Structure 1
């Protein structure tokens, strides 16, 4: 399979499908717009832009080039609104956040996209909190929220359509963890008990058993008897001046298809059980921070925890890890990162290793403005002799992040 066909197998424009979590390592504070009668309303936001220069080296000569862009970083631009109200013994809350790409479309002119990544309400008390609505999933959640390069740039794979795409970069998505897609959910979170906190929820399930005939026509209907189940357990402790935060999260879902016919020469399944586990630990002491995380999954896409575009997933494995360290001194922070995902074929249809290495420098100007410089190396190594998938992309990014 050549590189053109590999790129065409991507089931959605990836650059438009990868907004990341609303958690930033940049200092910021919400602006309170109203605070009266036990009711609050506030806003927060994030704006960033990078000049990036990527050198692409793929199998053959049709894709090799050096590309300059002005784009967002790993964390997209957004504006968020928050509401809180004390109603007797219950604490009511809500959040809506709107995520915006700064790159218009080459095809549609002013085709800037606006996405609602969060739109939920919460009900809390001494017994914990229940969230209803749309929010990021629990599986792989802390893996990405605690990424040391969250407010930087990260990897842009040409094979995945990111170098020329109009949206965000991928950061470490696909090279250490899958992205916990925002999803409709009902989730319970316990109070923090001796450092432990438990979250468990039911999420809107994904179609993973789309079956097609040789002409590309759909066969049967995908369905799920049960919702997707996701959970996360976190533990935090302070030992003197050392702070430790650790987590384990997971998901489970079964999807079926009404079509039961045999499809000659195809490995499409009429039933697929998807499951995964994520884990990690972050240790902070003084200005130093060390983070190690990983995941292992079966029957999911190595890039996403749901299944955008209803790709035909298979009962095969993906696994990955991410190792990072950073040091903060004065207004400066330096971060190093290396990660890898080994996918047995759900991402592009063929087994491959996806690897990235990055070094970033952050300079805090004030509580609302940070300057960022990063160098990133991204590789795809086709396994089982499939060198047509190979890619090496090197990216330099210089940008600024504004928060409130």
Structure 2
């Protein structure tokens, strides 16, 4: 045990020595089979946004804003540490801790509100049985829907509160999927079975929240309370079944389906609400071209962030929603590196509940019906560690009372990745 501690301390000392060099990645190994490595990235985006005046008599988190921000892209910075143990009795054990810092504050010169998000802290055990994972990581439901779309390594939507927003840009959250988030979980993944894999997870449950509704039809929400199913007696369950393979001369194919189920209760009445979701997608690549299509549907998922914001209407009924993404990209080598051109379109839609329809008919007040975004992007790898990009997007919202709203964005940015 003493020699192991010495090896780990020596590895840490070597890490800090190597970190000052120009190496692209740092991996330090001990003589007894332990290894320590780090990976990460730093990125920064400049984004200009112009938009219509925000509509009245609707519920939305948009603000009337036109301006410019400098902040991280959809992925903030990353600094992650990985530890791997020597293989023992056929088991490979490893752990990862990932910090996700955001470089910008609110857009006031002397605000000290930058954030560091601890998104990953988990360990894995691999063997001939598959893999067991315990800790905090990206959730299964809609995780691949997020990971397979191009604004993951880009900008996407800047966000509604242009002049106050802290944190990264929002990617395609709310425009083709609902954000899966990083959550505490126990997960089991089967071994590869001729291209098929099944992953099932048990998750820390979430409250299922709604929005305040105009229950007395007085055109005011000041006297209303948002419903909240905050009693969580059972975990949340998520799964994903995937298949990956090849075809023809160098073609690749991947498909997946994923799902979610959770119940929660209102403490005051004891009534249950149920959140469920079903999603899936395909990724096909050949000769530099790649086509991506994904979709989801469900109840009590919310419009953008999952479960705990606007998943219920003003009287606690589950809101139904669905969405999809279609995307095409082409990647080619050139004398200046590797360039990817991409175009994608995504939509989230909500059904109007009977209560929301009554409010609209009595007051004219409208809930959101559709959010869509069209994005064109150019992503250029100068080398494997340095990337520059440009994105242009058109965003549109529509409400059940006929109001609509448009946003146009243009952004450029750069990544350093190791």
Matches within 5 A, 1:97-176: 97-106=98-107, 109-158=111-160, 161=161, 164-176=164-176
**Conserved? CA contact 1:157–1:378, under 8 Å:** no
TM-score, normalised relative to structure 2: 0.80
After superposition, give the CA deviation of every residue in 1:22-47 in whole Å (9 maximum; x if it has no partner): xxxxxx97421335422111101111
* Counterpart Cα distance in 2 of 1:221 and 1:287: 48
* Counterpart Cα distance in 1 of 2:309 and 2:65: 29
Matches within 5 A, 1:336-355: 336-344=343-351, 350-355=367-372
Q: Which residue of the partner structure matches residue 264 of structure 1?
A: none
Q: In the TM superposition, what is the alpha-carbon distance from 1:224 to its structure 2 partner? A: 2.1
* Counterpart Cα distance in 2 of 1:122 and 1:248: 23
Matches within 5 A, 1:303-318: 303-307=304-308, 314-318=317-321
Larger CA Rg, structure 1 vs 2? 2
Q: Which residue of the partner structure matches residue 92 of structure 1?
A: 93
* Counterpart Cα distance in 2 of 1:156 and 1:237: 36
**Conserved? CA contact 1:210–1:257, under 8 Å:** no
Query: SS state of the match for residue 58, structure 1?
Result: coil
* Larger CA deviation: 206-215 vs 52-61: 206-215
More helix by share: 2
RCO higher in 1 or 2 (8 Å CA, sep ≥ 6)? 1
When residues 246 and 82 of structure 1 are mapped into structure 2, their CA distance, relative to the original with a 3 A threshold, is same
Q: Any runs of at least 4 consecutive aligned residues in structure 1 with deviations exceeding 3 A, and if so which?
A: 59-65, 105-108, 209-221, 308-314
1:235 correspondence with 2:243: yes
**Conserved? CA contact 2:312–2:319, under 8 Å:** no
1:187 correspondence with 2:182: no
1:201 correspondence with 2:210: no
**Conserved? CA contact 1:230–1:250, under 8 Å:** yes
Root mean square deviation of aligned Cα: 2.9
Q: In the TM superposition, what is the alpha-carbon distance from 1:219 to its structure 2 partner? A: 8.8
Counterpart among 18, 27, 41 of residue 36 in structure 2: 41
Q: Which residue of the partner structure matches residue 19 of structure 1?
A: none
* Counterpart Cα distance in 2 of 1:63 and 1:295: 28
When residues 109 and 128 of structure 1 are mapped into structure 2, their CA distance, relative to the original with a 3 A threshold, is same
1:53 correspondence with 2:69: no
**Conserved? CA contact 1:48–1:77, under 8 Å:** yes
Q: Which residue of the partner structure matches residue 10 of structure 1?
A: none
Query: SS state of the match for residue 145, structure 2?
Result: helix
When residues 349 and 110 of structure 1 are mapped into structure 2, their CA distance, relative to the original with a 3 A threshold, is farther
* Counterpart Cα distance in 2 of 1:304 and 1:65: 22
**Conserved? CA contact 2:380–2:389, under 8 Å:** yes
| Count of aligned residue pairs for this structure pair | 364
* Counterpart Cα distance in 2 of 1:93 and 1:352: 45
Q: In the TM superposition, what is the alpha-carbon distance from 1:310 to its structure 2 partner? A: 9.5
* Counterpart Cα distance in 2 of 1:289 and 1:72: 26
Matches within 5 A, 1:20-35: 30-35=25-30
* Counterpart Cα distance in 1 of 2:415 and 2:385: 8
Q: Which runs of 5+ in 1 are unaligned?
A: 1-27, 262-269
Query: SS state of the match for residue 111, structure 1?
Result: coil
* Counterpart Cα distance in 1 of 2:112 and 2:376: 34
Q: In the TM superposition, what is the alpha-carbon distance from 1:124 to its structure 2 partner? A: 1.4
Q: In the TM superposition, what is the alpha-carbon distance from 1:225 to its structure 2 partner? A: 2.5
Q: Which residue of the partner structure matches residue 15 of structure 1?
A: none
**Conserved? CA contact 2:69–2:162, under 8 Å:** no
**Conserved? CA contact 1:209–1:256, under 8 Å:** no
Q: In the TM superposition, what is the alpha-carbon distance from 1:309 to its structure 2 partner? A: 9.6
Counterpart among 260, 268, 272 of residue 259 in structure 1: 268
Q: Which runs of 5+ in 2 are unaligned?
A: 1-22, 57-61, 216-221, 354-364
